[in-house]
Amino acid sequence: MAEMLVTPLRALNVAQTVGAPVAGRADEDIGRLHDVVARVLEPGDELFPPLTGLVVRLGGRGSHLVFVPWEAVRELGPGGVRLASSRLDLRPFTRRDGELLVVGDVLDKQVVDVDGRRLVRVNDVQLAPDPRVPGGWRVAAADISVGSFLARVVPRWLVPAVHHRFPPNVVISWDQVEFFAADVPGVKLRVDHANLARMHPADVADLIAELGYRHAGEVLAVLDDERAADVVESLPSEVQAAVLTALDDEKAGDILDEMEKDIAADILADLSQDEARDLLDAMEPAEAADVTRLLAHGRDTAGGLMSTEYVTIPANATIRNAIKRLRAADSVPDEIPYLYVVDREPDGRLVGTVTLRNLLISVPRTTMAEIMSPDLIVLTPEMTREEVAEEFTHYDLVAMPVVDADMRLLGIVTIDDAIDVLLPKGWHPRIPRVFHR
């Protein structure tokens, strides 16, 4: 973790300084402090953003906002600001890329408390001296205490009583805060969401479900495709489609490529035909073809529930050859409930199943036909979700194949999909995906 900057004796709350007088070198009145500018552009800035200047509202008629670079600041405190010079650039302040207005952009915004895995409201921001730059200051922590919020809205003479009743400085170190660039439209900020990328996908999904779609899209856009797919799979079904459509088609297509194809098909089924077609076009052709085949089935049928990720082995293959095929395969499912044995390749009939245990303990020269179980319990693609769930309950299996009228394998349904039918809809994100990522 980066060096902690906050020290109780030297920290300065930004809200205490807003509206404070700004004096020039000869103590003449310049105006009032309007905001504090921090830099969030270079690598490392997002941990504890360094201050680069102040925004000051000039006094007198026709007052406007001007920028004062940090080099011109001699003193900053709750009592006011003293400048090292009385000469100012009087051009109206215009923010640039990489500039964070600590008051305007951060106060009262929702941020992620990474350690607490929750969304919190920023009621104040603490600044602290930069231990590596003499005279420098940095954004050090987000203050989420009730007392800090009340101190901003009550008359100044009540502030001591508020602080006595509601002690301030319930703070989160800024390197444990995830701020959203979506809250600062129109400028470029460096926000890589590295902390969120290290969180469990289910925790990220919980946060995204509470955020607006712009914020959710910002998070997913910076996650690698596999992690983003895990996050989307963990979202409530009513949120998944909306979140993906908030992304550009290329990123959404990459995420769909990594998702379980039955879930991807369910998401696309919730979209308009044009939206679904755009996302299918953004996917890899082979992945899109699998999803398209699933979309041909009703989502409340075995065909709509099934996954196209499974392993088939011809009956005449030896155990040695089967293991070599698995090792050499370009893509193997993360979990393999059964190996499905077919009488020939390609497009052979399903004739049996083999567990990984039996594959591993059998003599290498033995054929799949010799160790397979020929007693098949199969589903047909038109069976309803309820009928599928009843089959799983009755036969106590972890996965069941879906076949056509000629016993050709179309896909498999796993136990987690069956449980989804039996339990309330809202429980789906809480169900462990036993055979999925």
Q: Give a yes or no: residue 161 inside a domain.
A: yes
CATH number at residue 377: 3.10.580.10
Q: Give a yes or no: residue 408 inside a domain.
A: yes
Residue 366 shares a structural domain with residue 416: yes
pLDDT tens per residue across span 88-100? 898 999 999 999 9
Q: Is the pLDDT reported for residue 434 higher than 70?
A: no
Residue 322 shares a structural domain with residue 291: no
- In whole angstroms, give the CA distance from residue 243 to residue 216: 6
Q: Is the pLDDT reported for residue 342 higher than 90?
A: yes
Q: What does DSSP say about strands 51-58 and 65-69: parallel, antiparallel, or unpaired? A: antiparallel
More confident residue, 116 or 162: 116
Q: What is the average pLDDT across 307-330? A: 93
Q: What pLDDT is stored for residue 4 in this prediction?
A: 41
User: Of the candidates 235, 158, 66, 405, which has an alpha carbon nearest to the alpha carbon of residue 246?
Assistant: 235
Number of domains in the chain: 3
User: Of the candidates 19, 27, 51, which has an alpha carbon nearest to the alpha carbon of residue 38?
Assistant: 51
Q: Give a yes or no: residue 305 inside a domain.
A: no
Q: What is the average pLDDT across 63-76? A: 92
Place of tokens 């049996």: 352
Q: Give a yes or no: residue 182 inside a domain.
A: no
Residue 315 shares a structural domain with residue 272: no
DSSP string, 48-117: SPBEEEEEEEEPSTT--EEEEEGGGEEEEETTEEEES-S----SPP---TTEEEIIIIITT-EEEETTTT
Residue 125 shares a structural domain with residue 169: yes
Q: Is the pLDDT reported for residue 169 higher than 70?
A: no
Q: The domain containing residue 97 runs over which residues?
A: 12-174
Q: Give a yes or no: residue 251 inside a domain.
A: yes
Q: Is the pLDDT reported for residue 6 higher than 90?
A: no
**pLDDT classification of 333: cutoffs 50, 70, 90:** confident
Residue 213 shares a structural domain with residue 257: yes
Hey, what amino acid is at 45? Answer: D
CATH number at residue 123: 2.30.30.240
- C-beta of residue 344 within 8 angstroms of C-beta of residue 387: no
- In whole angstroms, give the CA distance from residue 100 to residue 46: 10
Q: Give a yes or no: residue 1 inside a domain.
A: no
Residue 417 shares a structural domain with residue 334: yes
382's tokens: 């038109």
Q: What does DSSP say about strands 80-83 and 21-23: parallel, antiparallel, or unpaired? A: parallel
pLDDT tens per residue across span 296-318? 998 889 999 898 889 999 999 99
Residue 391 shares a structural domain with residue 319: yes
pTM as predicted = 0.77
Residue 283 shares a structural domain with residue 342: no
pLDDT tens per residue across span 124-166? 999 999 988 888 999 999 999 888 888 777 776 676 776 667 7
Residue 49 shares a structural domain with residue 98: yes
CATH number at residue 271: 1.25.60.10
Residue 318 shares a structural domain with residue 291: no
Among the candidates 296, 322, 354, a domain finishes at 296
What is the total residue count of the chain? 437
Three-state DSSP at 135 gives coil
Residue 74 shares a structural domain with residue 159: yes
Residue 167 shares a structural domain with residue 203: no
Q: Give a yes or no: residue 301 inside a domain.
A: no
